[in-house]
Chains A and B, each alone.
Chain A
Amino acid sequence: MASHPRGGPHTAPALALTGLLLAIPAAALPFLTVDKFGNVRSGSFVSSLEGLRDYDMSLLALWVLICGALTPLFLLAALVISRWQPERARQFGHALAHWSMPEVYVLGVLVALTRLGSIVDVEINAGFWCYVGMSVALLLAWRAFRLENLDVRTA
């Protein structure tokens, strides 16, 4: 660790793998449960896509899917392989990073939660925390990867 004060070459792949593992429950579990007059509904990432699709906004749903799920997952996968193929990971990373927005999605859900609170009873579920964890793991992995590359280039 002394020679790698920022964690070393395993940090980014380890964090990215954590993010990928968290993505599974984030996709499978509901983000929240809302209750209106005893009528209970679950909300998840997938339900937001279904909602847009049902109102003939499939293109917007696709865009939300790309920025909120597909690009973050591809970026995490690229960071996992960065230990063995750093140059390819760097190319993928720089191409994908601009379109990966899970942290913005998290903020959007938090604002939605606050607005929902005045309309319905809301309970946050595990899926949301897993998505938050995936988002944080991705940010940390990307930061570690960039710092590591900086170390390699300036060494």
Chain B
Amino acid sequence: MNATTRNAPDLSRPAALAIAAAVMLIPANLLPILDTQMAGDARVDTIWSGIVELYESGLWPLALIVFAASLIIPIFKLAGLAWLMRAARRGAPEHKRRSLTRLYATLDIIGRWSMLDVFLVAFLTGVVRFGAPAMVVPRSGIVAFAAAVVLTILATRAFNPRLLWDTTVPTEEQPPLSP
């Protein structure tokens, strides 16, 4: 292999983690994350219904925060990672390398905020334990969501942003050698 060629970078680890995270997001959003029992009334919340409840209660700034943390950020992270891996595999154009690196830094920073819902459920579960008058019970959706968050963070960590600055041409895109 000469100095201007390279094999396609090994992105199997971040790709596998990102796919696993995407899969975990499905039960995370479909299954309930929380049961609230209040004086005989029981309410089961998914991530989405919790956001809607906050909005309908007039707490739209909080609804916006939870919406961003629990829905937008995980999807944005996975889409961003897919884009970065595509760029790394094909060889990022020189004028885009800086912006792609900024995108990676952004994904690296924002991922942690998705843990908001996990901490929220954990805290409510620990505090609201009055038996029949009021109980908050965590449900399996929150475990799937926590797993999705961990996997997206691991996927971001597994991606090497230096690949975006690799100036050599991928082997698979080389022109055929002349005889």
Contacts and interface: CB of A to CB of B under 8 A. Distances in A.
Main secondary structure of the interface of B (DSSP, over half): helix
A61 B143 CA distance: 10
B169 interface: no
A57 B140 CA distance: 9
Interface string B86-113: 0000000000000000000000100011
Contact of A104 (B36, B62, B119, B142): B119
B118 A47 contact: no
Given A98-B153, A104-B113, A116 B127 contact: yes
A41 B129 contact: yes
Given A52-B126, A98-B153, A114-B59, A119 B119 contact: no
B137 A119 contact: no
Contacts, number: 117
Contact of A112 (B59, B113, B123, B143): B123
Interface residues of A, number: 41
B123 A43 contact: yes
Contacts of A43: 123, 126-127
A46 B127 CA distance: 10
B49 to A, nearest CB: 13
B8 interface: no
B105 to A, nearest CB: 12
A64 interface: yes
Interface in A115-132: 115-116, 118-120
B137 A112 contact: no
Q: Is the interface of A mostly helix, strand, loop or mixed?
A: helix
Interface string A97-120: 011010011011101101110111
Interface string A32-68: 1010110101011011111110010101110110011
A50 B130 CA distance: 14
A141 B157 CA distance: 23
A51 B123 CA distance: 8
A50 B122 CA distance: 9
Contact of A49 (B57, B126, B142, B153): B126
B65 interface: yes
Contacts of B127: 32, 34, 41, 43, 47-48, 51, 112, 116
A36 to B, nearest CB: 5
Q: What 6 A-B pairs are tightest by C-beta distance, nearest first? A: A108-B119, A43-B127, A51-B126, A51-B125, A48-B126, A47-B126
Interface of B: 36, 38, 54, 57, 59, 62, 65-66, 108, 112-113, 115-120, 122-130, 133-134, 137-138, 142-143, 146, 150, 153, 157
Interface of A: 31-32, 34, 36-37, 39, 41, 43-44, 46-52, 55, 57, 59-61, 63-64, 67-68, 98-99, 101, 104-105, 107-109, 111-112, 114-116, 118-120
10 contacts: A31-B123, A36-B134, A48-B123, A49-B122, A60-B122, A104-B112, A104-B113, A112-B120, A112-B127, A115-B124
